[in-house]
Structure 1
């Protein structure tokens, strides 16, 4: 029996999990002819692909090779715009030894202690945004809380002017457009050029006059321990886009899951300290990143199927996190899982997301504040979903709120 999987199908984007289940049961390593991809869906196989950087390389450009957006580019102007981008790979698209060097450099500045020091400020900004949400005539959880919270925190961590946050939002949206079904590749490139120029000026200023911000920390150190200008720019862009978009979607997905599970929502309202567990289960149950992209360096056998060398591989993280071979009752949203930390939402191995701690901290603060201060909240209209197979989240989540007396 032949199985097909069109991840651009609007029905699959709306709810990919039934399709994931069919793949896991009948075609765990599925070859797609158009685009030419090997789609991997079971937990153990996905974990192997994500962790094994020797056989499954991350050195794949999302600009040159982008199966998530089939829109063709106008080659002449596309190449001209591409030439203006800074040269160099980021953590997501590099392998050892380059990845090892980059990770060590970035890790010195992005330590758990430095991230943890931001928690009071994260909670302060969250409380301010909930104040605004409660005053809004037509509140929207994405617009009023999920999107501005990570944008504000990243802007402060990088110490960029508050009046540039609107630019950050526009650039982030433009870069993400490249991952949307039929999204604008032109908007992606134009945004990449604009944000690269912006961070080039910031990096140049911080190199001359370092401060106490993350960019300055990235640029300090002796000799090879310092990030180059290109490396610093690329990491700032990665932090802005990946950190902003992922956290926004995580917050929105968590609230949407609570709307769908009123009994758990009632528990969280009674015990707001459960917010961290709710966020952890959302990462497994309906994570913001559904798939990754790798390329094989040699022929590899997974689940009885041989993937040839030089093949593009699509590990379905969202499917792995719902695999009953690893998780008991995976389609149930539960807070009492003994293996709740086994999810692959932030990757695994050397490519485990360096911003995962910050994303969880922000999402937990948002969910806890909503649970504590907005006990009477419900969807107002149908939310608008992001039209992307790889980014799972909401563009809008209109709500009705009743402020506490």
Structure 2
């Protein structure tokens, strides 16, 4: 390339897409020396990495080597603890056969039918949150008042957690995510990891004694090979909380940013709120919450005539793949009803395809429909605060304004 690509630079975090275009053209397999990463940017190569767990492993090691927060230094006691529990299988960072076993165990809790059954409740929660926004006498914030509390409430109810713990859920999730971000703090992350593990440990023990209808109760009912161990249950609950809150919050925020910038799109959506599902689908391609994943090569691999050594960290850039002009016409335009939109990689591809994808789409669609119907003139009222991460794209806050005339829910 004509210049170095810095994954963690403020310019890249603010708007990575021009740099992605240069990578695809000049260095589709780009080697970064510091941190030591191989960055993959073209659609076909990214999809090949995601679909090849034999050569590109998801077992990337512990947090002591985080290229998304190069300054992160883990205390020795925590590094030791991580090494002792490394045998615990985690869905996101495991390979077959462990991944196959874990996926089979948890997938019965995330069937499309089970997720669709939650849609009426999700819409009830969304309606209540918009009611609260209309009734409040303080300045509104898209993230704080809607995009974050919606998935927080839904996941808490899925897990059978009392609503009064929602603030704890959000704080723990934020601290876990923030500790992995560029320049993120370490101590709150460690404290939250301990607190959330202890919380779920006690919750799981209670569910074993007195199971209910919630997701945790469903997951502990397996027998024999279908049973999750206690630590597997804890780590899955933590993953569901952190990943589910962060990605859905950012999906809603990113969709609204696209709408704010496009008056014609706003008019279309307000005139026909049923277009919300199409807006969500295009947002997943155009500005998806998960810009990249991490893999490590099991063996020497050649992609696009470039050889990557064994044991190398690889970042398949989903955000770049989803803007590849070889896959989509006018990739930098936000267009509804693209003919091949289902080929986007926002939820990954292959064996690690996001298990919660249906839930995220339902939540985001409900939020956009409610905004279109009841807050049609919502607009930015200040500069958004962006997440300081090259791989998590979204907002921490977005001040908004709207007419506080109450438009009844339908």
TM range (shorter): over 0.9
1:343 and 1:61 map into 2 onto residues whose CA distance is 27
Counterparts of residues 245-256 of structure 1 (less than 5 Å): 245-256=246-257
Superimposed CA distance per residue, residues 273-295 of structure 1 (whole angstroms, 9 cap, x where no aligned partner): 00000000000000001010000
Query: Aligned with 1:402: secondary structure?
Result: coil
* Partner of residue 34, structure 2: 34
Q: Is the contact made by 1:174 and 1:191 (CA closer than 8 Å) also made in structure 2?
A: yes
Shift of 1:62: 5.1
Superimposed CA distance per residue, residues 55-113 of structure 1 (whole angstroms, 9 cap, x where no aligned partner): 10001135132100012315334436647968513111000000000000001222221
2:33 and 2:161 map into 1 onto residues whose CA distance is 45
Q: Is the contact made by 1:85 and 1:196 (CA closer than 8 Å) also made in structure 2?
A: no
Answer yes or no: is 1:389 the counterpart of 2:390.
Answer: yes
Structure 2 CA distance for partners of 1:164 and 1:380, relative to 1, 3 Å: same
Shift of 1:156: 0.3
Out of 131-140 and 344-353, give the one that drifted further.
131-140
Q: Is the contact made by 2:64 and 2:79 (CA closer than 8 Å) also made in structure 1?
A: no
Query: Aligned with 2:369: secondary structure?
Result: helix
* Partner of residue 321, structure 1: 322
Q: Is the contact made by 1:71 and 1:185 (CA closer than 8 Å) also made in structure 2?
A: no
Q: Is the contact made by 2:56 and 2:296 (CA closer than 8 Å) also made in structure 1?
A: yes
* Partner of residue 210, structure 2: 209
* Partner of residue 133, structure 2: 133
Shift of 1:302: 0.8
* Partner of residue 18, structure 2: 18
Query: Aligned with 1:66: secondary structure?
Result: coil
* Partner of residue 282, structure 1: 283
2:304 and 2:133 map into 1 onto residues whose CA distance is 49
Shift of 1:404: 4.1
Q: Is the contact made by 1:3 and 1:27 (CA closer than 8 Å) also made in structure 2?
A: no
Q: Is the contact made by 1:58 and 1:294 (CA closer than 8 Å) also made in structure 2?
A: yes
* Partner of residue 362, structure 2: 361
Q: Is the contact made by 2:295 and 2:314 (CA closer than 8 Å) also made in structure 1?
A: yes
Q: Is the contact made by 1:85 and 1:192 (CA closer than 8 Å) also made in structure 2?
A: no
Q: Is the contact made by 1:37 and 1:313 (CA closer than 8 Å) also made in structure 2?
A: yes
Structure 2 CA distance for partners of 1:87 and 1:206, relative to 1, 3 Å: farther
1:130 and 1:322 map into 2 onto residues whose CA distance is 33
Superimposed CA distance per residue, residues 143-195 of structure 1 (whole angstroms, 9 cap, x where no aligned partner): 00000000000000000111111110110011001221110133222211110
Q: Structure 2: which 5+ residue stretches go unaligned?
A: none
Superimposed CA distance per residue, residues 303-353 of structure 1 (whole angstroms, 9 cap, x where no aligned partner): 110111111100000000000010110000000200111110100011000
Query: Aligned with 2:179: secondary structure?
Result: helix
Counterparts of residues 298-313 of structure 1 (less than 5 Å): 298-313=299-314
Query: Aligned with 1:376: secondary structure?
Result: coil
Q: Is the contact made by 1:78 and 1:186 (CA closer than 8 Å) also made in structure 2?
A: no
Out of 21-30 and 336-345, give the one that drifted further.
336-345
TM-score scaled by structure 1? 0.97
TM-score scaled by structure 2? 0.96
Query: Aligned with 1:313: secondary structure?
Result: strand
Q: Is the contact made by 2:62 and 2:82 (CA closer than 8 Å) also made in structure 1?
A: no
Answer yes or no: is 1:56 the counterpart of 2:68.
Answer: no
Query: Aligned with 2:364: secondary structure?
Result: helix
* Partner of residue 79, structure 2: 79
Answer yes or no: is 1:70 the counterpart of 2:70.
Answer: yes
> How many matched pairs?
405
Query: Aligned with 1:179: secondary structure?
Result: coil
Q: Structure 1: which 5+ residue stretches go unaligned?
A: none
Counterparts of residues 166-205 of structure 1 (less than 5 Å): 166-205=167-206
Query: Aligned with 1:39: secondary structure?
Result: strand
Counterparts of residues 148-159 of structure 1 (less than 5 Å): 148-159=149-160
Shift of 1:373: 0.6
Superimposed CA distance per residue, residues 196-253 of structure 1 (whole angstroms, 9 cap, x where no aligned partner): 1100011111111111110010011221111111111111001100001100000000
Q: Is the contact made by 2:297 and 2:314 (CA closer than 8 Å) also made in structure 1?
A: yes
